[in-house]
Amino acid sequence: MSVAFRRESDEEHLEPKFEIPIAPGPNIVTPRGLKLIDAKVIELEAAVDAAVEPELAVLKRELRYWHTRQTTAEVAPPPAEGEIGIGSRVTIRMAGKQRVVEIVGGDEADPAEGRIGFAAPLAQALVGGEIGERVDFNGVAEAIEILDSVAIGES
Residue 98 makes CB contacts below 8 A (sequence gap 6+) with 91, 92, 147
What would the pLDDT profile of 102-145 be if each residue is shown by its tens digit? 999 999 999 999 999 999 999 999 999 999 999 999 999 999 99
Handedness of CA 103, 108, 114, 117 (dihedral sign): positive
- pTM over 0.85? The answer is no
Q: pLDDT tier at 14 (50, 70, 90 boundaries)?
A: low
**Is pLDDT above 80 for 8?**
no
